[in-house]
């Protein structure tokens, strides 16, 4: 059923891909930074502080997207006993955790000039902090538990429970009174953000997505080399 997900077939592609992804990442990031720091206008209220948005928002989006993918592959690993799904999930976690931390740090930096404080126990901020805890628990579960304790099953439990937090993050601004404004970018309705700001935001999101793919490929290739050295029957 999942022959296309066989480790050897995927590794044949992923082992050659990083250098091309790196080139694309540098190119897209250069365009994105030019648009974000030079060409995009300053905000009439936040002035140049608004430019933090071009890092903060894409980092948050990528972090949420990666955890969703991680949970889906963890579910596949748990239900179908497909070891490569577990390898993919494990390889996704580091980049997702990195972008989650970036989102929290840049959010704190942005919060100081906007809200007058570095941190507030706002519903969205708190739920993003909880997401970082799930990321950390997931990563640690692979390091703490040995093969006898079935780390892929334990990590799958963590990912699936953590998935409950994703809609909470998404809808927190609608369910509770928060410092965050409602989403300015919406796929199902009219986007409220001006095109001059939307363009660099999307380009930076693409750059971050490429970087996350690069980290994933490096981690996945490392895992595959380790497995090949030990035997393909082991994770």
3-state secondary structure of 143: helix
**CB within 8 A of 36, min separation 6: which ones?**
51, 54, 200, 201, 203, 204
Q: Which of 86, 71, 95 is nearest to 162 (CA)?
A: 71
**CB within 8 A of 93, min separation 6: which ones?**
66, 70, 135, 138, 139
The confidence score (pLDDT) of residue 131 equals 97
Phi, psi angle pair for 47, to nearest 5°:
55, -135
Q: Which of 106, 77, 80 is nearest to 92 (CA)?
A: 77
Q: Specify the CATH number for the domain of residue 60.
A: 1.20.120
Flag whether 189 is in a domain.
Answer: no
Flag whether 235 is in a domain.
Answer: no
Flag whether 174 is in a domain.
Answer: yes
Flag whether 187 is in a domain.
Answer: no
In terms of Cβ atoms closer than 10 Å to its own Cβ (0-12, 13-18, 19+), residue 144 is: exposed
- pTM of the predicted model as reported, rounded to 2 decimal places: 0.89
The confidence score (pLDDT) of residue 7 equals 65
- Taking residues 95-101, what's their average pLDDT? 97
The domain of 27 spans 3-38+50-180+194-230
Percent of the chain with pLDDT over 90: 59
Flag whether 98 is in a domain.
Answer: yes
Instruction: Please state the domain count of the chain.
Output: 1
In terms of Cβ atoms closer than 10 Å to its own Cβ (0-12, 13-18, 19+), residue 114 is: middle
Residue 233 has pLDDT above 50, yes or no: no
Flag whether 90 is in a domain.
Answer: yes
Flag whether 45 is in a domain.
Answer: no
Flag whether 146 is in a domain.
Answer: yes
């Amino acid at each position: 059923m999942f022959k296309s997900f066989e480790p050897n077939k995927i590794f044949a592609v992923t082992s050659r891909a990083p250098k091309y992804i790196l080139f694309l990442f540098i190119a897209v990031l250069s365009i994105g930074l030019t648009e974000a720091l030079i060409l995009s206008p300053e905000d009439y209220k936040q002035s140049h502080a608004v430019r933090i948005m071009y890092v903060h928002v894409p980092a948050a989006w990528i972090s949420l997207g990666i955890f969703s993918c991680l949970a889906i592959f963890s579910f596949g690993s748990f239900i179908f006993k497909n070891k490569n799904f577990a390898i993919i999930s494990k390889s996704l976690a580091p980049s997702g955790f990195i972008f989650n931390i970036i989102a929290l740090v840049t959010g704190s930096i942005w919060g100081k000039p906007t809200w007058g404080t570095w941190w507030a126990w706002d519903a969205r901020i708190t739920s993003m902090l909880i997401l970082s805890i799930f990321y950390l628990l997931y990563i640690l579960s692979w390091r703490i538990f040995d093969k006898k304790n079935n780390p892929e099953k334990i990590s799958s439990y963590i990912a699936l429970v953590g998935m409950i937090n994703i809609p909470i993050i998404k809808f927190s601004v609608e369910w509770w009174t928060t410092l965050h404004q409602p989403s300015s970018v919406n796929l199902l309705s009219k986007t409220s953000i001006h095109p001059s700001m939307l363009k660099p935001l999307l380009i930076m999101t693409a750059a971050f997505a490429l970087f996350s793919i690069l980290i994933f490929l490096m981690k996945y290739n490392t895992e595959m080399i380790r497995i090949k050295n030990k035997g393909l029957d082991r994770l």
